[in-house]
Amino acid sequence: MRVLVPSALRSYTRQRQVETGGATLAAMFDELDARYPGLRFRVVDETGRLRPNMRVFVNGLAMHDLAQALRPDDEVAIVLALSGG
């Protein structure tokens, strides 16, 4: 599957998008972390949940559950949520 990487995480991948696998979002992040150590920790917290400032979209649909099943032809976008005041 294709994963779109936000500029804030490109220091890990050095690429705007990467190809990876994984049967679920959690497995996908595990695989990405094996290739790009530290990336998963920036997106997923110690309890296994998405960090509050991160969003993940699969084929354009927002996902909140890392147990979400994935297909090899899916496109996953990792997005850094903006906040401020």
- Which domain CATH number covers 67? 3.10.20.30
Q: What is the mean pLDDT of residues 7-27?
A: 96
Q: Is residue 66 part of a domain?
A: yes
Asked if the model's pLDDT at residue 83 lies above 90, the reply is no
Distance of alpha carbon 28 from alpha carbon 32, whole angstroms: 6
Domain span at residue 74 reads: 2-80
Question: 68: which 2 tokens?
Answer: 């979400």
For the sheet with 17-19, list strands across it.
17-19, 2-4, 75-80, 54-58, 61-63
Q: Is residue 36 part of a domain?
A: yes
Looking at the 3D structure of the chain, how many domains does it have? 1
Q: What is the mean pLDDT of residues 48-75?
A: 96
Q: What is the mean pLDDT of residues 69-73?
A: 97
Distance of alpha carbon 14 from alpha carbon 21, whole angstroms: 18
Q: What is the mean pLDDT of residues 56-78?
A: 97
Could you tell me the pLDDT band of residue 81, with boundaries at 50, 70 and 90?
Answer: confident
For residue 42, give every residue at least 6 positions away whose Cβ sits within 8 Å of its Cβ, in sequence order, or none. 8, 9, 12, 51, 54
Model-level pTM?
A: 0.91
